[in-house]
A and B are shown apart, each in its own frame.
Chain A
Amino acid sequence: MLDVKAGHRFVDRPDDFRLDVTLKTPDTGVTAVFGRSGSGKTTLLKVVAGLLRPDYVRIQVGSAVLCDTRHGAWIPPEQRRIGYVFQDTRLFPHLNVQGNLMFGRRFNPPPVSKALAFDSIVTMLDLASLLDRSVHGLSGGESQRVAIGRALLANPRLLLLDEPLAALDADRKSEILPYLEGLRHNLDLPILYVSHSLGEIRRLATWMAVLEKGEIKAFGSVEDITGQMDLSPLAEGGDTGSVLAATVAGHEKAHGLTRLSLSGQTMMVPKLDLVEGTHVRIQVRPQDVALALERPDNLSVLNIISGNITSILEPPRRPVVDVQVNIASTKKPVHLWAQVTRLAAERLALQTNMPVYALIKAVSLDQNRVGLS
């Protein structure tokens, strides 16, 4: 468990930025910190790592209180055992890959956990062939893997990842994402993952905190947060959407499709190499969802999901509305966001509590939008 309370007024920032954060995360698993640039994501990580000392801070990891300024307690960063993977990797240029990996071992006791032994980290991150290399010749993805390995080998009790994919191009991103998923599955270690990409969060995180102007606006499971909040104003690069929990129900081999079961309804997606019963999460972008008042026939769209409108948001200065649809068959709501033009919303006279059908093209739900839960 990570328990952070921090407050700080930045006198040197002109925009009167304040950090005012209260965050409590579960024992293990990945918690994403989501927010746009300048929302205070990196500041929060630096506070947790102890690289920044705010006016007020109390941090507890598990049962260990790392600092509590009200009681004069302050463990310096080098004694916190908090791994930090920086966006710009910050590998040491005078050491080769092996030297970088072993750096933390010079100062920290060897790990208690077998999962963090040198060989298993090297295997997990596929670093064996890089050990003798200079860090100057590494690709972006390789550097990032070495940086992750270096942080893990320092025997951390908490791992902080600061947008590890932000500096990489799309190919490198998909190269490194499986390793990050591996971390989540193989390590019994809480991870705080900063990102402004909902796509990454959907694939990696179980929990997410939404940070806006230095404050935590929401905290909960990724499904709940993406269902309840319209995150599109916060996301960058149009990478928004609802994240829905689903189960693999079967495969349509002849057509190259996979059937997912989702809140008692069926959804078709391009074929996934997963066995029946696997739990997955799918990200549905609001612009990929159309709405109809009646169940349409003779339509190419395969996925027709019924639900009720729970709210309608009208973002200012844009010709669209964001419509939240509850598609759950049980009491616990499951939310899907649809983005339609204001004109269409007026023509259909959309209102809350209205039953609607959400239409989602199967081809919009490619592999990049589906992750293991």
Chain B
Amino acid sequence: MLGLTGLELEALQVSLKVSLWSLIWTLPLALGSAWLLARTEFRGKAVFNALIHVPLVVPPVVIGYLLLVLLGRQGLIGIWLNDWFGIGLVFTWQGAAIAASVVAFPLFVRPIRQALEAVDPRLDEAALTLGANKRQAFFAVTLPIVMPGVLTGALLFFSRALGEFGATITFAANIPGETQTLPLALYTATQSPGSDPIAMRLVMMSLVLALGALILSEWLTRRTYTQRRG
């Protein structure tokens, strides 16, 4: 397809699978975290906030190593997952998705949190008096209003997950067809002599993918605004 080799196609598939699944299972977590940070007060909020933002400020390799310590076969949580459920995350695409999710998570939470902080919480009271319960008020009022923020966060998250390298290679390794995403394939190509044309094609694929995500997100954001202006 499009003159792509099997290896390149595989890398593309792995990249999309890892990034999209990360996006899907991280969305509720990001919404929940942003909600906690924007709308609630609780003990340890500062610590919680710092924890979420750690991946922004430490090298991804550190995150990968910490994941290995926690979720590896002999890791603190990993050993338990393995014994009870037979789940092993190391060297799997799910492991790669977890690595990408953790690293990109703060980029997802921040725009949603800012959007939530800009919403007047008294609109919820109005929704209550009109017969919506708290859950309905969230889905009918708050969520649609913060949708542009959610889309921005989703784009930042997706792009960052797509480009994830350090944490992924440390935690999930570089296995073609399983955990070898585009950046990892590109890295491999740059390490083998005479692979420059392959590397260039991988670069082009990465660019197209990132630009595609950007354009899609812009279009969705504009569509929400147009609907709103009615």
| Chain A residues in the interface with B (C-beta under 8 A) | 49-51, 76-84, 86, 88, 90, 92-96, 98-99, 103-104, 106-108, 132-134, 136, 150-151, 154
Distance of A96 Cα from B230 Cα, bound (Å): 6
Contact A77–B129 (Cβ < 8 Å): yes
Given contacts A86-B126, A94-B145, A107-B136, contact A134 B131 (CB under 8 A): no
Contacts known (A84-B126, A92-B126); A107 close to B228, Cβ less than 8 A = no
B131 near A132 with CB under 8 A, answer no
Size range of the chain B interface in the assembly: 20 to 34
**Of B27-35, B117-125, B158-166, B176-184, which stretch is located at the interface?**
B117-125
Partner pick for B130 among A98, A133, A151, CB 8 A cutoff? A151
A107 and B120: CB pair below 8 A?
no
Q: Within the assembled complex, what's the spacing in Å between the Cα atoms of A93 and B144?
A: 10
Query: In the bound complex, how far is the Cα of B126 from the Cα of A107, in angstroms?
Result: 13
List the B side residues contacting A86 at CB < 8 Å.
Answer: 122, 125-126
B129–A103 CB distance below 8 A = no
29 interchain pairs, CB-CB under 8 A: A51-B125, A51-B129, A77-B125, A77-B128, A78-B129, A78-B130, A78-B136, A86-B122, A86-B125, A90-B123, A90-B125, A90-B126, A92-B141, A93-B145, A94-B141, A94-B144, A95-B228, A95-B230, A99-B230, A103-B132, A107-B131, A107-B132, A107-B133, A107-B136, A108-B131, A134-B230, A136-B229, A151-B130, A154-B130
Quick check: is B215 within 8 A (CB to CB) of the other chain?
A: no
Are B230 and A83 neighbours in the complex by a CB distance under 8 Å?
A: no
Nearest B residue (CB) for A93: B145
Q: Quick check: B133 and A78 within 8 Å, CB to CB?
A: yes
Q: Decide yes or no whether B127 CB sits under 8 A from chain A.
A: yes
User: B60: shortest Cβ distance to chain A, in Å?
Assistant: 37
B residues lining the A interface (CB < 8 Å): 120, 122-123, 125-133, 136, 140-141, 144-145, 147, 228-230
For residue B84, give the distance in angstroms from its CB to the closest CB of chain A: 40
Measured between C-beta atoms, what is the minimum distance from A89 to chain B in Å?
Answer: 9
A79 to B136 Cα, complex, angstroms: 13
Q: Give the complex CA separation of A82 and B129 in angstroms.
A: 6
Contact residues in A for B132 (Cβ distance below 8 Å): 78, 103, 106-107
Contact partners of B228 in chain A: CB under 8 A:
93-96, 134
| Shortest Cβ gap from A130 to chain B (Å) | 11
Apart from A92-B126, A106-B131, 20 more pairs, CB < 8 Å = A51-B128, A76-B128, A79-B131, A80-B129, A83-B129, A84-B126, A84-B129, A86-B125, A86-B126, A90-B120, A94-B141, A94-B228, A96-B228, A99-B230, A103-B130, A103-B140, A107-B131, A108-B131, A151-B129, A154-B130
- Across-interface contacts of A79 in B (CB, < 8 A): 131
Q: What residues on A are CB-neighbors of B145 within 8 Å? A: 92-94
> Could you tell me the distance between the alpha carbons of A96 and B133 in the complex, rounded to whole angstroms?
21
CA gap between A259 and B136 in the complex, in Å? 57
A106, B122: Cβ atoms closer than 8 Å: no
Measured between beta carbons, the chain B residues less than 8 angstroms from A78 are 128-133, 136
CA A134 – CA B123 in complex, angstroms? 17
Residues of B within 8 Å of A107, CB to CB, are: 130-133, 136
Closest to B137 in A: A78
CB distance from A237 to the nearest CB of B (A): 26
CB-CB under 8 A from B147, the residues of chain A are 94
A301 and B80 alpha carbons, distance in the complex (Å): 96
A103-B140, A106-B140 known; A154 vs B125 contact (CB < 8 Å)? no
- Say whether B131 contacts A104, CB under 8 Å: yes
Instruction: Give chain B residues whose Cβ lies under 8 Å from the Cβ of A81.
Output: 131
CA distance A154 to B126 in the complex (A): 11
Give A313 to B36 CA distance when docked, in angstroms. Answer: 56
* Smallest CB gap from B128: residue in A: A77
Q: Nearest chain-A residue to B229 (Cβ)?
A: A134
- Measured between beta carbons, the chain A residues less than 8 angstroms from B126 are 84, 86, 90, 92
Alpha-carbon distance A94/B147, docked complex (angstroms): 10
Q: Which residue of B lies closest to A136 (CB)?
A: B229
CA distance A173 to B226 in the complex (A): 32
A88 vs B125: C-alpha distance in the bound complex, in angstroms? 12
> A96 to B141, alpha carbons, bound, how many Å?
13
Residue of A nearest to B125 (CB): A51
Q: What is the distance, in angstroms, from B64's C-beta to the closest C-beta of chain A?
A: 40
Tell me the minimal C-beta distance from A184 to chain B in angstroms.
20
CB distance from A194 to the nearest CB of B (A): 15
Closest A residue to B224 by beta carbon equals: A94
Residues of A within 8 A of B129 (CB): 49, 51, 77-78, 80, 82-84, 151, 154
Contact yes or no, B230 A104, CB < 8 A: no
Q: A166 to B127, alpha carbons, bound, how many Å?
A: 22
- Specify which chain A residues have a CB less than 8 angstroms from the CB of B133 in the assembled complex: 76, 78, 107
Which residues on A sit within 8 Å (CB–CB) of B229?
A: 96, 134, 136
| Nearest CB of A to B41, in Å | 14
State in angstroms the CA–CA spacing of A92 and B123 once bound together. Answer: 7
Q: How far, in Å, is B145 (CB) from chain A's closest CB? A: 5
Chain B residues closer than 8 Å to A106, beta-carbon distance: 131-132, 136, 140
> CB-nearest residue of chain B relative to A153?
B130
Between A81, A83, A94, the greatest number of chain B beta carbons within 10 A of the residue's beta carbon is seen for A94
A313–B45 CA distance with the chains assembled, in angstroms: 57
- In the complex, the answer to whether B230 meets A103 with C-beta atoms within 8 Å is no
